[in-house]
Amino acid sequence: MAPAFDNGTSLGHEIAPADLAKFLDAERLDRYIRRGAHHLRWNVGDKKRISHLGFLKQLFDYWPDLKTRACERLASFDMGVVKGRIMEMTRFSVPAPLPEPRAAFFCRLTEARYSALMKSLDR
């Protein structure tokens, strides 16, 4: 499910803390996710970068058995466990702690991406 590039990009590192609340709006969050694109391209000569879901669609079209295996793995995905683990990270005593609003944003992003992925897989 994770993008094939750095997790800072996939977790909205560029969104200022003051703007996180704007992404409580499901439409805004969906637009943000749809606009995201890999730093890579499907083919070396491609001018346009590819979206995460677009990348997976092409990958699964190219290797159909990979789609079957991915669906099997995704069937055991537990969003509750993931949310719990993300929120646990807010309790670490470290020099640069993860604030709860940012962790909650990570949870919303992860859940929205999972839902979009499942929808794209017809699940």
User: What is the distance between the alpha carbons of residues 109 and 29, in angstroms, rounded to a whole number?
Assistant: 7
Residue pLDDT, tens place only, 69-112: 988 988 899 999 999 999 999 999 999 999 999 999 999 999 99
Contact 90, 103 (CB under 8 A): yes
Q: Is the pLDDT of residue 22 over 60?
A: yes
**pLDDT above 70: percentage of residues in the chain:** 92
Confidence at residue 6, expressed as pLDDT on a 0 to 100 scale: 54
DSSP symbols for 92-118 = ---SS---HHHHHHHHHHHHHHHHHHH
Between residues 10 and 65, the one the model is more confident about: 65
Comparing CA positions, the residue from 6, 103, 104 lying closest to residue 52 is 6
The single residue listed with the structure tokens 């079957």 is 68
**CA-CA distances (angstroms) from residue 114 to 4, 19, 54, 75, 117?**
15, 23, 14, 11, 5
User: What is the distance between the alpha carbons of residues 33 and 120, in angstroms, rounded to a whole number?
Assistant: 14
Confidence at residue 1, expressed as pLDDT on a 0 to 100 scale: 46
Q: Is the pLDDT of residue 29 over 70?
A: yes
Confidence at residue 43, expressed as pLDDT on a 0 to 100 scale: 84
User: What is the distance between the alpha carbons of residues 114 and 2, in angstroms, rounded to a whole number?
Assistant: 9
Contact 56, 117 (CB under 8 A): yes
